[in-house]
Amino acid sequence: EPMFLPRQSINGKEVVFDVPADYVDDRYKPIYQELQSRFGTDNPERVTVRASKLPNLSQIKQLDRRENFTLFIPRHRKFAASLIKIFMGAKDKEEFFSVATYARDQINPGLWNYAYSVALLHRPDTKHLPVAPLTETFPNKFLAGEVFSRALAESTIVPEDQRLPIEIPRDYTATDLDVEHRVAYFREDLGINLHHWHWHLVYPFDGTVEIVRKDRRGELFYYMHQQIIARYNLERFCNNLARVKKFNNFREAIPEGYFPKLDSLLGSRSWPPRFSGTTIRDVYREADQIEFEILDLERWRDRIYSAIHGGAIQDNNGRTVQLSEGQGIDILGNIIEASILSPNKNLYGDIHNFGHLAFASCHDPDGRNLEPVGVMGDTATAMRDPIFYRWHAFVDEIFQEHKSTLPRYTAEQLTFPGINVAKIEVSTQGRPANQMHTFWQQSIIDMQRGLDFYPRGAVLAKFTHLQHMPYNLKITVENSSGAPKTGTARIFLGPKFDERGFRWNFGDHRVMFIELDKFLVTLKNGTSVIERKSTQSSVTIPFERTFRSLGPSNRPDDGNPQAAGFNFCGCGWPQHMLIPKGMEGNGLQCQLFVMISDYNADKVDLPRQQQKSCTDAASYCGLRDSVYPDKRAMGYPFDRPARDGVDRIADFLTANMAVIDVAVIHNNRTVDQSGVQIQDLQDRFGKPQ
């Protein structure tokens, strides 16, 4: 079996686990020796697991190995929850690896990988170990199927040192005849999809309460997805597309089709397409044991809206719980997603997850054609589909409805007395001030861990993604309060004009801002100049950590000094997608917003022993084992409508805020990454424009 041995990086070394003979199915016992020698031959480290008391997996084994595991199907969720419980219950690390090794061969690989990754991230004795990025373990969820037949040829015929990367074209799922395809580079970006998969791994909505309950996880569900929509809208403006239309009429045909071209691997089924003009319908798929109607979605939606308008929800015990300014958004996040923390699933249902499922099965809602679910049914693939954004724009609208019931921030609340943001400047080396620059870059990932054929060795794929030149932000702040102060700098980028080229009303404008960064600043009395690099952003993780290839050149033990740092936490927006593509010529006109808020009002009590790892993408991912590091509502100060009298962003600004115009300029050239530092790229583009 291809998934015979789990691999895991431990102390910077990749190891394989030897499977004790008792673990092997009877029919494999005669060839046990051969199997042992065949797997993991590329790896020096082998760890023999202790033969432990084996768990009973008979229930979990009901999920066929060939089926596409998806969290959105409650039956699959239950299997995952039981397996997570087994993995979490192992009394020490050795027993965990042993049980995981045993289970790997027995059950559905997608289910195994999910439960194993969740357990790895949440067990106190393993949470420092890296989770292999899904691009390595399941590359078929990210790359077109044809890549794998080419990889097979490459890896069986060509010796490892002579293999060439398989080039994946930028445009392979559709053509620009479909206008939605203009933003396919965003939707199908490997790093963005990895981030989304990893986020849901860190914040599972099912499993045990101990795993699911995390500080403000419902609010973070809202905020992280709100930012995805804002980012997608900005990306659409760069491509002459209007903002995404929310999917609020569940009976309407969906004009957007999507043909994923992702193929099966490991014998599982591939992802079916959705044709333009499809409608979601009542779902009754006996094999998956799911049954719900569009009417259910509508009832849940209406009940959630009534709760919001009444300012309170009803919990399971009939008690009324206020949707307060502080807690309301978090409660709603758990209700809408829905997580097992939803206070009343009978009443408010499971609208967001079942919406995913309705789209994922609209090509075969009653299962008569035995078709598996579509890409919307998997957190690793959902963001590829245009309907993801229409659905999440609808979901976000519910949260915004709640936000509009909250008291407005007064100018006084927004002010930081004595603090004045005097000047902001963005600089990109060799370019005029206040410009950001983007281009295309080719990078390489190693797929070998996810390929089920031999001989092994590196199997490289070269793909093209957006990239930008690094920039510096310089903020001049005057402190006339008479004493040194600490503040939180909140940096956002938004479009200057709407899709018609008109100026924004603040009410629409505020939800268009994408967070670029958030950091602490110390302000001495008088004038301070704060400098910050784009690579320091609190929303992103570096490219290497998104993909964290453990291929030969990136193994920490090969002396790559950066590699050791990559071994933690893959949650975080990919650095290469920090800013939108912009436009050629004069660029897309944007506004960069800076606010310095009073740290005394922002600070939370962080646990003393603050982990050093995983702290650099806290804005969208939170901190591990900690409360969210900012007391303010997520998205502050844009998280709610403004006080009376604010029509434009200019009216919204208090002295501790400022905006400047920034042009995001795209150069439609592709640069090969191999061995090139991003800083060097500036030379390649010739003279500044």
- The footprint of ligand CUO (CB under 6 A) covers 196, 200, 225, 352, 356, 379, 382, 392
Query: What CA–CA distance (Å, rounded) separates 234 from 506?
Result: 16
d(CA 101, CA 416): 56
Closer residue to ligand CUO, CB minimum distance, 183 or 583: 183
CB of 623 to ligand CUO, least distance (A): 20
SS3 83: helix
Helix or strand run (H / E) with residue 444: strand 435-446
Amino acid identity of 556? Answer: P
Question: Could you tell me the smallest distance in angstroms from the CB atom of residue 261 to ligand CUO?
Answer: 21
Query: Least CB distance from residue 620 to ligand CUO, whole Å?
Result: 11
Q: Quick one: 126 or 379, whose CB is closer to ligand CUO?
A: 379
User: CA 660, 650, 506, 584: dihedral to nearest 10 degrees?
Assistant: -20
Residues 221 and 512: their CA atoms lie apart, in Å, by 18
Work out how close the CB of 45 gets to ligand CUO at its nearest, in angstroms, rounded to a whole number.
Answer: 35
Closest CA to 65 of 26, 25, 30: 25
Residue 260 Rama label (left phi>0; alpha psi -120 to 50; beta): alpha
The Cα–Cα gap between 263 and 147 comes to 9
Q: Are strands 312-314 and 320-322 parallel, antiparallel or unpaired?
A: antiparallel
CB of 218 to ligand CUO, least distance (A): 12
The 3-class SS string of 567-634 reads HCCCCCEEHHHCCCCCECCCCEEEEEEEEEEEHHHHCCCCCCCCCCCCCCCHHHHCCCCCCCCCCCCC
135, 381 contact by CB (below 8 A): no
Q: Decide whether 196 or 518 has the Cβ nearer to ligand CUO.
A: 196
Dist. CA 116–CA 113, nearest whole Å: 5
Q: Is 337 a catalytic residue?
A: yes
- Closer CB to ligand CUO, residue 262 or residue 491? 262
Whole-number Å distance between alpha carbons of 390 and 498? 18
Question: Of the residues 94, 337, 531, 584, which is catalytic?
Answer: 337
Nearest CB to ligand CUO, comparing residues 4 and 72: 72
Of 23 and 271, CB closest to ligand CUO: 271
Q: Which residue has the closest beta carbon to ligand CUO?
A: 382
* Spacing of C-alpha 35 from chain mean position: 36
CB of 399 to ligand CUO, least distance (A): 13
Gap between the terminal Cα atoms of the chain: 56
Give whichever of 186 and 599 is closer to ligand CUO, judged by the CB atom: 186
* Whether 506 contacts 481, CB under 8 Å: no
Least separation, in Å, of the C-beta of 323 and ligand CUO? 21
Residue 514's DSSP bridge partners are: 493
**Structure tokens given for 411:** 């100018």
Nearer of residues 187 and 392 to ligand CUO, judged by Cβ: 392
Q: How far apart are CA 291 and CA 282, in angstroms?
A: 8
DSSP 8-state assignment for residue 160:
G
Q: How far is the CB of 100 from ligand CUO (least distance, A)?
A: 26
Q: Which residues are catalytic?
A: 337
